Amino acid sequence: MPKVARPKPVLLPELCKGCGRCIEACPKQCISMGTEINQASGLIPVIIDADVCNGCGLCISACPEPYGLTAAGYELEDPKDLYGHRRPEQEGPVTIPDQRIPLPQCEPLVLKGTYASAIGAILAGCRHVFGYPITPSTEGAELMAKLLPQLHGAFLQAVSEVATVNHMYGCGGAGLPCMTFTSSPGFSLMLEGISYMIGAEVPTVFVNVMRGGPGLGNIGPEQADIKLVCRGLGHGNTHGIVLAPTTPQEMLDLTMEAFQLAFKYRNPVIIAADGYLGQITGRVNLPETMVKPGLPDWAVYGDEEHRHNLINSIYLSEPSLEKHNEHLNAKFSLMTTEEQRSKTYKAEGARILVLSCNTPARMAKGAVEKLRRQDVPVGLFQPVTLWPFPIDHLKTWLAPTSGTDPVTDILVVEASAGQLEDELRLALSHAGIQGVRLHHLRHMGGVLPQEPEVIEAVRNIHSNQPQEVTS
Amino acid sequence: MTTATAFFHKFDRHADGKGLKGATTHYCPGCGHGLIHKYIAETIADFGIQDRAIAVSPVGCAVFLYYYMDMGNTQAAHGRAPAVAIGHKMANPNSIVISYQGDGDLASIGLAEIIHAAQLGLPISVIFVNNAIYGMTGGQMAPTTLVGQKSATCPAGRGLFEGLPMQVAEIMAQLSGTVFVERTALYDQKTRKRTRKAIEKAITLQMEGRGFGFVEVLSECPTHLKMDPMQAEAWVRDEMTKTFPLGVLKDDDRAPWFEMKPPEFDPERVAELVGATSVAPERYCTEFPEHLAPEDVSLKLAGAGGDGAQTAAMLVTNAAINEGFDATHIPSYGPESRGGTSYADVHVAKDEVLSPASPSPNILIAFNAPSLAKFGPTVHTGGTIIYDSSVISEVPEFATDVKVVPVPFTEIAQSLGKVLVKNVVALGALQEATHLLEEDSLLFAVRRSLESKCAMIPINEEAFRWGVKAVKEGVTHFE
Ligand code: SF4
Ligand code: SF4
Ligand code: SF4
Q: Is the preceding peptide bond at A388 cis, omega within 30 degrees of 0? A: yes
What confidence tens digit (pLDDT) does each residue in B34-57 have? 999 999 999 999 999 999 999 999
List phi, psi (to 5°) of A149: -60, -30
Q: What is the pLDDT along chain B (479 residues), one digit of tens a residue?
A: 346 889 998 999 999 999 899 999 999 999 999 999 999 999 999 999 999 999 999 999 999 999 999 999 999 999 999 999 999 999 999 999 999 999 999 999 999 999 999 999 999 999 999 999 999 898 999 999 999 999 999 999 999 999 999 999 999 999 999 999 999 999 999 999 999 999 999 999 999 999 999 999 999 999 999 999 999 999 999 999 999 999 999 999 999 999 999 999 999 999 999 999 888 888 999 999 999 999 999 999 999 888 899 999 999 999 999 999 999 999 875 444 455 678 999 999 999 999 999 989 999 999 999 999 999 999 999 999 999 999 998 888 888 899 999 999 999 999 999 999 999 999 999 999 999 999 999 999 999 999 888 899 999 999 999 999 999 999 888 77
Tell me the shortest Cα–Cα distance from A303 to chain B, in angstroms. Answer: 5
Nearest to residue A42, comparing CAs of A6, A15, A61, A69? A15
Mutate to test the interface with A, among B63, B90, B333, B336 (most CBs of A within 10 A): B90
Phi-psi region of B285 (alpha: psi -120 to 50; beta: other; left: phi over 0): beta
Chain A environment of B223 (Cβ under 8 Å): none
Count other Cβ atoms within 10 Å, centred on residue A431: 14
From residue B29, how far is each of A320, A347, B13 by CA, in Å? Answer: 27, 71, 20
Residue A111: strand, helix, or coil: strand
Q: Name the residue of chain B whose CA is nearest to A99's CA.
A: B265
Contact (CB<8Å) B326/A72: no
CB pairs under 8 A between A and B: 343
Tell me the shortest Cα–Cα distance from A109 to chain B, in angstroms. Answer: 6
Q: Name the residue of chain B whose CA is nearest to A118's CA.
A: B274
At CA B237, angle to CA B233 and CA B240, rounded to 5?
105
Q: What Rg, from alpha-carbon coordinates, does chain B have?
A: 35
d(CA B311, CA B308): 5
ipTM of the prediction: 0.94
Residues 6+ apart with CB under 8 A from B63: A314, B57, B75, B136
Q: Which ligand is nearest to the CA of A48?
A: 1
CB A154 within 8 A of CB A133: no
Which atom of ligand 1 lies at the shortest distance from residue A8's CA?
A: 1
User: Of A63, A67, A70, A74, which is best to mutate to test ligand 2, by the most ligand atoms within 8 angstroms of its C-beta?
Assistant: A63
Residue A83 is predicted with a pLDDT of 46
List phi, psi (to 5°) of B476: -110, -15
Q: What percent of chain B has pLDDT over 90?
A: 88
What confidence tens digit (pLDDT) does each residue in A9-29 have? 999 999 999 999 999 999 999
Q: Which ligand is nearest to the CA of B220?
A: 3
CB A175 within 8 A of CB A298: yes
d(CA A209, CA A177): 20
CB A182 within 8 A of CB A207: yes
Alpha helices per DSSP H over A272-406: 275-279, 318-338, 358-373, 391-398
Helix (H) or strand (E) holding B297: strand B296-304
| Domains of chain A: residue spans and CATH | 9-83 (3.30.70.20), 99-338 (3.40.50.970), 342-470 (3.40.50.920)
d(CA A202, CA A301): 13
The answer for A 293-332 residues in CB contact with B (under 8 A) is 300-304, 306-307, 309-314
Alpha helices per DSSP H over A103-137: 113-123
The answer for A 38-67 residues in CB contact with B (under 8 A) is 40-41, 43, 58, 60-67
Which atom of ligand 3 lies at the shortest distance from residue B30's CA?
A: 7
Residue B290: strand, helix, or coil: coil
Answer whether A363 touches B (CB < 8 Å).
yes
d(CA B79, CA B62): 12
Tell me the shortest Cα–Cα distance from B171 to chain A, in angstroms. Answer: 17
Residue A70 CA to ligand 1 centre (angstroms): 11
Supply the mean pLDDT for chain B. Answer: 94
Q: How many residues does chain A have?
A: 471
CB A276 within 8 A of CB B323: no
Helix (H) or strand (E) holding B250: strand B247-251
Residues 6+ apart with CB under 8 A from A278: A112, A113, A114, A136, A137, A139, A140, A209
Determine whether A405 is exposed, middle or buried from the number of CB atoms within 10 Å of its CB (0-12, 13-18, 19+).
exposed
Read off the DSSP letter of residue A307. Answer: T
Mutate to test the interface with A, among B9, B49, B114, B126 (most CBs of A within 10 A): B9
Chain B environment of A301 (Cβ under 8 Å): 72, 91-92, 95
Residue A459 is predicted with a pLDDT of 97
